């Protein structure tokens, strides 16, 4: 018998799909997913605000914990690579790439961001909330984001159907998680990384102990860490943001 498709809860507006997923866990067992047409309190990584007007995809999947904590960064990288591949196939393009640790970019602008949180809610126990903000139809970003953010509509010059993309993203996330938890992901991840990362061999800047450091990217380690050659040897970055010294 085929596995039943996880429920997708769709809302017109929410504070944050992350909070709504946590609320639903009080009564619904994972896996399931939540989307909102807009968010009033969208949050990004490092405590940043996620600009969430109508027209884009705001998505959170609640997934039963089936992998060790240390594997979480590798899963988010894997899911970002698979989603970038899926969106490139849908748009018949090669324009989208994955910027470590797990953003989807086009050129020098961000299109999508990912956030993973582990929570414990009674009675469901430990659950992984895996969230995606994907800019679909925003035409004009507020000044503070305009230089570094874009949307699929701006890139491909036509609007995107949010409902169709939601379903595609949900299917991709659930399939990626199943493959990852079953351990059958390594070759796929490596091939997708080679295809969609644009950092290898390039000089990047990153923060370490409140200092700006620089190094050349060598590749990724088996846990998803970024390996960077610096004047002091190889550095292994496990989290944080990196910037290309010179943009693509």
Question: Which residues in this chain contact ligand BTN in the complex, by CB under 6 A?
Answer: 16-18, 39, 42-45, 48, 50, 58-60, 103, 113-115, 131-133
Give yes or no for a contact between 228 and 206, defined as CB atoms under 8 angstroms apart: yes
Specify the residue, 103 or 218, whose C-beta has the smaller distance to ligand BTN. Answer: 103
Specify the residue, 144 or 186, whose C-beta has the smaller distance to ligand BTN. Answer: 144
The end-to-end CA distance of the chain, in Å, is: 47
Query: Least CB distance from residue 46 to ligand BTN, whole Å?
Result: 7
Specify the residue, 2 or 87, whose C-beta has the smaller distance to ligand BTN. Answer: 87
Token pair 């295809």 in the structure block, residue: 195
Specify the residue, 145 or 218, whose C-beta has the smaller distance to ligand BTN. Answer: 145
Query: Least CB distance from residue 212 to ligand BTN, whole Å?
Result: 20
Query: Least CB distance from residue 65 to ligand BTN, whole Å?
Result: 19
Token pair 């910027």 in the structure block, residue: 99
Among 120, 126, 134, CA closest to 59: 134
Give the rounded distance of the alpha carbon of 220 from its chain centre. 17
Query: Least CB distance from residue 110 to ligand BTN, whole Å?
Result: 7
Specify the residue, 14 or 189, whose C-beta has the smaller distance to ligand BTN. Answer: 14
Query: Least CB distance from residue 185 to ligand BTN, whole Å?
Result: 22
Instruction: Render 100-141 in DSSP notation, one character per residue.
Output: TTTEEEETTEEEEEEEEEEEEETTTEEEEEEEEEE--S----
């Amino acid at each position: 018998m085929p596995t039943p498709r996880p429920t997708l809860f769709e809302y017109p507006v929410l504070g944050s799909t992350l909070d709504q997923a946590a609320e639903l866990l009080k009564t619904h067992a994972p896996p399931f997913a939540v989307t909102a047409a807009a968010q009033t309190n969208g949050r990004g990584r490092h405590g940043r605000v996620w600009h969430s007007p109508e027209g884009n995809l705001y998505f959170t999947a609640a997934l039963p914990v089936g992998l060790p904590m240390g594997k979480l960064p590798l899963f988010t990288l894997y899911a970002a690579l698979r989603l970038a591949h899926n969106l490139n196939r849908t748009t018949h393009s090669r324009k989208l790439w994955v910027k470590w640790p797990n953003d989807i970019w086009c050129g020098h602008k961000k299109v999508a961001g990912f956030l993973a949180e582990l929570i414990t809610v009674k009675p469901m126990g430990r659950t992984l909330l895996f969230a995606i903000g994907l800019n679909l139809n925003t035409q004009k970003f507020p000044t503070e984001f305009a230089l570094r953010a874009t949307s699929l509509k701006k890139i491909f010059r036509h609007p995107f159907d949010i409902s169709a993309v939601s379903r595609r993203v949900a299917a991709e996330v659930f399939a990626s998680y199943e493959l990852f938890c079953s351990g059958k992901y390594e070759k796929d991840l490596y091939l997708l990384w080679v295809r969609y990362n644009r950092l290898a061999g390039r000089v990047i800047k990153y923060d370490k102990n409140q200092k700006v450091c620089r190094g050349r990217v060598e590749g990724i380690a088996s846990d998803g860490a970024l390996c960077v050659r610096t004047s002091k040897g190889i550095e292994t970055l496990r989290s944080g943001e990196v910037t290309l010294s010179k943009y693509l």
